[in-house]
């Protein structure tokens, strides 16, 4: 056999073995919990705990999941479910299923270039990706990496309104398709795990956390390879913020406790496009958001990371749908860990849902491939559960599929 032929044969064999091992590994992930377990092994503790935790006793964090799981389905049979579709629209944008990736801070610390990887996975899957103000990769970096494919941008309103206005203009320049304003972070909730891990803005590791970082060689190697290690939307963009020290001081003072509905009206006027208001837990706040110009409201308690002891998001969803569902889209966030959870929220009136932790577990476990796997898991669970409830299209899902 000629040497080149032998080389080609060996290379093909190695390539086949690689794909076989990869396929076998991916087949082992059948639910989001599988991805969470691997992420816990691969992501440094301070950043894993940042994701997998809530404020104070974590009661609301746990209840978000538990209350979703308590909603039982009514199975139906002998229905024609041959041709099924999960396709719908969220704030006018076609989506392959009623799911968007939620804005999550420090995504680029779960995996190097995390925001870019998650945006690419969402783009290929046909769902929206929402970039956080507190992202590691900047608006411009994500836009460049996704070839200007439209994504959504989440805005924190800062005391420095010039900086806030600059973020809006940068989002417009990056062709962002929607702007999301988060209303429930006027002050920070206390998260015990973050304090104990020395996680601040930016992170200030202790000797213990440094040792843990060094025990994650895959994570460290990936971080060494990227230039995205700071808050890309802030450093070099906010006035006077050109170093880590100045970033710490600026961030500490910028979250605005005076945030009001007048600010939402001001943002709507300057943005002009689809506006989503996130952090709604009360019907009256939902009405005020719509009156201020919101095209959609997100029922969310920040994943149980702000007010501990608050009601679960799913327990407040129906009242908010009843209050504003005829005038604006109602979306749902906080607690989704499966496609069944998506179906439950849609049944109670949500026109769209968001995954944060579920996506981050996939990202921390396997990077972009892990995000894609998380989306595949959720789509499969959503499709099959909808079928078992006797529905062939997501638009046919209503409260009658639930026993509650």
pLDDT at position 272 over 70: yes
The residues assigned a catalytic role are 302
DSSP 213-280: HHT-HHHHHHHHH-S--S-TTTTTTSTT--SHHHHHHHHHHHB-TT--HHHHHHHHHHH-S-EEEEEE
Q: Give the HSE-up count for residue 260: Cα atoms under 13 Å, Cβ half-sphere.
A: 2
DSSP, res 159: S
Q: How confident is the model at residue 175 (pLDDT cuts 50, 70, 90)?
A: very high
213-252, pLDDT tens digit by residue?
999 999 999 999 999 999 999 999 998 898 877 887 787 7
Residue 233: both structure tokens together: 């939307």
Please state the rounded mean pLDDT for residues 331-341: 98
87-140, pLDDT tens digit by residue?
999 999 999 999 999 999 999 999 999 999 999 999 999 999 999 999 999 999
Please state the rounded mean pLDDT for residues 242-263: 86
pLDDT above 90 covers a percentage of the chain that reads 84
Whole-number Cα distances in Å, 106 to 110, 125, 168: 7, 22, 20
Residue 242: what pLDDT? 85
What backbone torsions phi and psi does residue 153 show, to the nearest 5 degrees?
Answer: -125, 130
Q: Is residue 89 part of a domain?
A: yes
Q: Is residue 50 part of a domain?
A: yes
Alpha-carbon Rg for the chain in angstroms = 22
Residue 184: what pLDDT? 96
Whole-number Cα distances in Å, 173 to 46, 77, 136: 34, 50, 19
Q: Is residue 9 part of a domain?
A: no
C-alpha 312/C-alpha 304 separation (Å) is 8
Q: Is residue 199 part of a domain?
A: yes
Q: Which domain holds residue 214?
A: 32-403
By the 10 Å C-beta count (0-12 exposed, 13-18 middle, 19+ buried), 203 is classed as middle
On average, the pLDDT of the chain sits at 92
Cβ contacts of 160-166, under 8 Å, gap ≥ 24: 160/238, 160/239, 160/254, 162/239, 163/237, 163/238, 163/239, 163/254, 164/267, 165/270, 166/237
Residue 97: what pLDDT? 98
Structural domain total, the chain: 1
Q: Is residue 3 part of a domain?
A: no
Q: How confident is the model at residue 209 (pLDDT cuts 50, 70, 90)?
A: confident
C-alpha 118/C-alpha 359 separation (Å) is 8
Q: Is residue 7 part of a domain?
A: no
C-alpha 188/C-alpha 254 separation (Å) is 11
Q: How confident is the model at residue 201 (pLDDT cuts 50, 70, 90)?
A: low
| pTM recorded for the entire structure | 0.92
Q: Exposure string (b/e) for 366-400, b if CB count within 10 Å is 16 or more?
A: bbbbbbbbbbebbbebbbebbebbbbeebeebeee
CA max distance for the chain: 78
Q: How confident is the model at residue 295 (pLDDT cuts 50, 70, 90)?
A: very high
Residue 292: both structure tokens together: 């201020």
C-alpha 389/C-alpha 264 separation (Å) is 39
Whole-number Cα distances in Å, 391 to 74, 85, 262, 343, 374: 11, 9, 42, 11, 23
Q: Is residue 15 part of a domain?
A: no
Q: Is residue 10 part of a domain?
A: no
- Report the CATH number that the domain containing residue 177 is assigned in CATH: 3.20.20.70
DSSP, res 130: E
Please state the rounded mean pLDDT for residues 50-64: 97
11-36, pLDDT tens digit by residue?
445 445 544 455 546 778 999 999 99
pLDDT at position 174 over 70: yes
Residue 17: what pLDDT? 53
Termini Cα distance of the chain = 70
C-alpha 76/C-alpha 288 separation (Å) is 39
């Amino acid at each position: 056999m000629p040497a080149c032929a032998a080389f080609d044969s060996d290379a093909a064999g190695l390539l086949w073995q690689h794909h076989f091992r990869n396929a076998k590994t991916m087949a082992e992930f059948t639910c989001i919990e599988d991805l969470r377990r691997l992420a816990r092994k691969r992501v440094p503790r301070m950043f894993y705990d940042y994701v997998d935790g809530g404020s104070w006793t974590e009661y609301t964090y746990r209840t978000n999941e538990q209350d979703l799981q308590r909603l039982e389905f009514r199975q139906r049979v002998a229905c024609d479910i041959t041709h099924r579709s999960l396709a719908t629209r969220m704030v006018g944008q076609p989506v392959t299923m009623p799911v968007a990736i939620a804005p999550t801070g420090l995504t680029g610390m779960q995996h190097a270039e995390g925001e870019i990887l998650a945006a690419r996975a969402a783009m290929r899957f046909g769902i929206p990706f929402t970039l956080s103000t507190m992202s590691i990769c900047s608006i411009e970096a994500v836009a460049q990496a996704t070839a200007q494919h439209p994504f959504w941008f989440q805005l924190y309103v800062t005391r420095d309104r010039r900086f806030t206005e600059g973020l809006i203009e940068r989002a417009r320049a990056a062709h962002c398709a929607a702007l999301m304003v988060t209303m429930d972070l006027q002050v920070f909730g206390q998260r015990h795990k973050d304090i104990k891990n020395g996680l601040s803005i930016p992170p200030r590791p202790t000797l213990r956390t440094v040792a843990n970082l060094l025990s994650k060689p895959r994570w460290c190697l990936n971080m060494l390879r990227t230039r995205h290690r700071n808050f890309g939307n802030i450093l070099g963009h906010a006035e006077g913020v050109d170093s880590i020290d100045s970033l710490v001081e600026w961030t500490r003072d910028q979250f605005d406790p005076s945030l009001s509905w007048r600010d939402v009206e001001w943002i709507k006027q300057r943005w002009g496009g689809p506006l989503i208001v996130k952090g709604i837990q009360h019907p009256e706040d939902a009405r005020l958001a719509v009156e201020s110009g919101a095209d959609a409201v997100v029922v969310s308690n920040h994943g149980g990371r702000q007010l501990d002891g608050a009601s679960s998001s799913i327990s407040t969803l129906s009242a908010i749908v009843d209050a504003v569902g005829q005038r604006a889209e109602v979306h749902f966030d906080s607690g989704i860990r499966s496609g069944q959870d998506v179906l439950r929220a849609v049944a109670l009136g949500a026109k769209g849902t968001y995954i944060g932790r579920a996506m981050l577990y996939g990202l921390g476990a396997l990077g972009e491939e892990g995000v894609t796997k998380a989306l595949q898991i959720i789509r499969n669970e959503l499709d099959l559960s909808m079928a078992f409830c006797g529905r062939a299209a997501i638009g046919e899902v209503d409260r009658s599929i639930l026993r509650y």
